[in-house]
Each structure stands twice: as C-alpha cells, then as structure tokens.
Structure 1
Amino acid sequence: MKTSNRLESAIKKLYTAYYSNQLFPECCKQCAVGNILDKTDGWQHLSDYHGALQLNYIGRVHQNLGRKFNGYSPLELLQIEAVFLTACGYQLPLHHKNNKPKIPNDNDVLFDGLIAVIGFLCELDGVSNTMDYTKCFELENDSPKYELELSF
C-alpha cells in the first residue's frame, strides 16, 4: 500500500510516542497532535479550547492561507485531536469539569486513542486503514480469504 509522507511520518511518531510512554492526552506536547508536530504545542493556538473543532481567528487565518503543519491543515489537526481525545474517553472540549477516563495514561485508553487516530489519518489520505485486522478473519469457501504473511 502506498502512503503519503505525512501519514507515514505521523504513524511513526505516534507509534514511537506510545511505546516510549510519551503519549498523554492532557498535554499539548504529548497528545496525538503534539507528537505529530514533533512535541510542540504551538498548534494549541489554532482554537480556543483543547479538543474543540472550531478554529479561532489565528486558526482561520492559517487555514485560509493554506498553511500546513507537517502536512496537515489547522482544521485537520483539530479533527485529529478530537478523534484521539474522544477515543480515549474524554468529553470535549477538554475541561476539568467534563468527563475523562479515570486513568488517562492507562495503556488500554491510549491504545484506543492510537487506533482511532491512525484510522482517521488513513481516512484523511484516502487509504485503507493500516490497523484494520478484520481482513484476517474473512472467509471464502470456508477457508481464509487472505493469507497471513508471517516473517520470523
């Protein structure tokens, strides 16, 4: 499967963050978008609230100028973060009064967020979801439809 540079780079950064315990939903540098943008938090100025889907004035200016941040538009970045936070169990926008997971850095919580974000990134690029495991279980004439390639 041919993927874009932005997708491949984002997946590598998210994978690395997850396995090095540097993926944390409540930190603008360690959330999904923070990691995609090289652990920076400047993207937080594109909206008024962490997890919001509405661009503020600064975000609209960047969007209207066609600016991209590591290949993603301001609106795409907000959508990516919203997908991540929602999949992790947060009520949006992020606020201390809104619902959130009991243990935000729990591996299962973060994995759910990671899977959702990767699926959304694939959707943005118009490619099949790299994390879709359902094909492994498809049958044709009572036999597996696809052969699983294992390399040891």
Structure 2
Amino acid sequence: MTTSNRFDAAVKKLYAAFHNNTLNPEDCKQCAVGNILDNKDSWRHMTEIHGSTRLNYVGFVHLNLGRRFGGYSPQELLEIEASFLRGCGYHLGKHFCHKPEHYKDSVILFNGLCEVISKLCQLDNMDDVMDCSKLFDFDRGHKEVLTNSF
C-alpha cells in the first residue's frame, strides 16, 4: 500500500508519543495534533472550543491562504483532533467538550490513536489500515441475524 509523506510522518510521531508516554488529550502540545505538529500548540487558535471541527476567524484565514501544517489544512487538523478525542471517550458538543475520567489510560489512548489513524487514512483516500475486517472476509455493512431453527 502506498502512503503519503504526511501520513507516514504523522504515524511515526504518534507512535513515538504513545510509546514514550507523551500523548495527552488535555495538552495541546501533546495531543494527537500537537504531536503531529512537533509539540507546538499554535493550532489551537484555529477554533474556539477544544474538540470542535468549526474553524474560527484565524482558522479560516489560514485555510483561505492555503496554509498547511504538517501537510494538513486547518480543517483537517481539527477533524484529526476531534477523532482522537472521540476515540478517547470524550463527548463533543457544539459548545462543550467533556472529558472522561481516565483519559490518560493507555487503553483509552490506544483507542484514540486507532481513530486518528482511521481518520488519516480517510483524509488520504486510502483503505483504513486499522480495519481488519478484510482479513476475516467480513463485511461490516451487512448485518445478518441468525435464527435458531432447532
């Protein structure tokens, strides 16, 4: 499978952050996007609410100027962060972001990373590398109800 440079770089940084215990959804420098952007938090000024996918004025300016950060547009960065937070169990709303109690647990962080990798694949129009249904020849879209005929 061919991947983009931005995908490869993002996954390497996220892998390192996870294994170095420097992944923290409550720190804009150590969250998914913070790690992708070399532990910088300037991206947080592109929205008003943590976890929102709505760009604010600053975000729209960067978007309209065609700026990219780590290879990603401002809108893509917000979508990546929102996927990470949802994967970590956060409840995201239009005007709020509610964090779970154990947001730094390694299992929760791993779930967040899985969501981010899936989002990165989607943004690059590639098959989801986290989807193992093909290995088992299983179609997630088809739900079959088995009935007991005994």
> Under TM normalisation by the shorter chain, which class is it?
0.7 to 0.9
Q: What's the TM-score, normalizing by structure 2?
A: 0.86
Q: Where do 1:67-106 residues align within 5 Å?
A: 67-92=67-92, 99-106=98-105
| Aligned-partner residue type, residue 52 of structure 1 | S
Q: Number of residue pairs matched?
A: 138
Matched, 1:21 2:28: no
Q: What's the TM-score, normalizing by structure 1?
A: 0.85
Alpha carbons of 1:22 and 1:94: their partners in 2 closer, same or farther (altered >3 Å)? Answer: farther
8 A Cα contact 2:49 2:97, kept in partner: no
Unpaired runs of 5+ residues, structure 1, are 140-152
Tell me what 1:45 maps to. Answer: 45
Tell me what 1:32 maps to. Answer: 32
**Segments of 4+ in structure 1 off by > 3 A?**
none
8 A Cα contact 1:50 1:93, kept in partner: no
Aligned mates of 2:113, 2:59 — CA distance in 1 = 24
Matched, 1:110 2:109: yes
8 A Cα contact 1:51 1:94, kept in partner: no
1:81 match: secondary structure: helix
Unpaired runs of 5+ residues, structure 2, are 139-150
Aligned mates of 1:36, 1:84 — CA distance in 2 = 12
Matched, 1:8 2:8: yes
Tell me what 2:130 maps to. Answer: 131
Alpha carbons of 1:134 and 1:9: their partners in 2 closer, same or farther (altered >3 Å)? Answer: same
8 A Cα contact 2:7 2:120, kept in partner: yes
Identity %: 55
Two-structure CA RMSD over aligned residues (Å)? 1.8
